[in-house]
Amino acid sequence: MSIKIMIVDEHKILREGLSTLIAKQPDMEIIGEATDGREALDLADKLSPDLILMDVTMPNLNGIEATRKIKSKNSDIEIIALSLHSDRRYVLGMIDAGASGYLLKECAFEELVLAINTVMDKKKYLSPEISDILIDEYVKKNVQGKPTIYVKLTPKEREILQLISEGKNTKEIAMHLSISIKTVATHRRHIKKKLKVESIAELTKIAIKEGLTSL
């Protein structure tokens, strides 16, 4: 039986390239593509893929939050992060959210195939560069001890913070998330209070620093 794979990436050329290569594998098939994390949530519910190749930095809903939501609904779906970023905040964010693998987009296709098969065998797969990051983090653990937004903010607050940092106003966020303007305003107040900042610029800086969004 073929491994049913879904690709989530905002760049069409990358999705098409991966689809073409994966289609040549006798035991793999692409069943769907999504352009951002929010679209990925809907598609994962409809298609029930075996595995998702997930970009990390995407508009509307990033790969970390999308992974967390998908895994909370269906823990059987395996997720491999496929990203340009080797920064520790992205790597740790994806692993913590439930991803079973993390690859850099510069990797050879043969490594991606190996990662897919490894993860489908219920094992973890990390690029060598990523393994080094996790080892370094393990060594440093508890040294800094400063809580991040993944500790301070709720999932909904993180969603709203990403949308704020992407330049959306309160009305646009309310429409995007199908909630009231009043609810968005309340979340904004809570976010500012928890992070101890006042300006949008400061919120955006934190969102970028913590990997919720990118420049």
Q: Are residues 124 and 154 in the same domain?
A: no
| pLDDT tens track for 157-188 | 999 999 998 889 999 999 989 999 999 999 99
Q: Are residues 170 and 79 in the same domain?
A: no
**Bridge-based pairing state of the strands 3-8 and 101-104:** unpaired
pLDDT at residue number 114: 95
Above 70 in pLDDT, residue 146? Answer: no
| pLDDT tens track for 57-88 | 998 999 999 999 999 999 999 999 999 988 88
Quick check: is 214 in a domain? no
Q: Are residues 135 and 163 in the same domain?
A: no
Count structural domains, the chain.
Answer: 2
Domain boundary among 98, 120, 140: 140
Q: Tokens for 54, please give them.
A: 């997930």
pLDDT at residue number 198: 86
pLDDT at residue number 135: 63
Q: Are residues 26 and 118 in the same domain?
A: yes
How many helices (H) does the chain have, and how many strands (E)? Answer: 11, 6
pLDDT at residue number 139: 52
- The mean of the pLDDT values for the chain is 89
Task: Give all strands of the β-sheet with 3-8 in edge-to-edge order.
Answer: 28-34, 3-8, 51-54, 78-83, 101-104, 125-126
Quick check: is 215 in a domain? no
Contact 115, 83 (CB under 8 A): no
Contact 203, 195 (CB under 8 A): yes
Contact 181, 174 (CB under 8 A): yes
Above 90 in pLDDT, residue 38? Answer: yes
What stretches of 49-123 adopt beta strand conformation (E)? 51-54, 78-83, 101-104
| pLDDT tens track for 102-142 | 999 999 999 999 999 999 999 999 988 787 666 666 555 54
Q: Model's pTM, two decimal places?
A: 0.76
Q: Are residues 133 and 180 in the same domain?
A: no
Q: How far is CA 154 from the centre of its chain?
A: 16
| Domain extent for 9 | 3-140
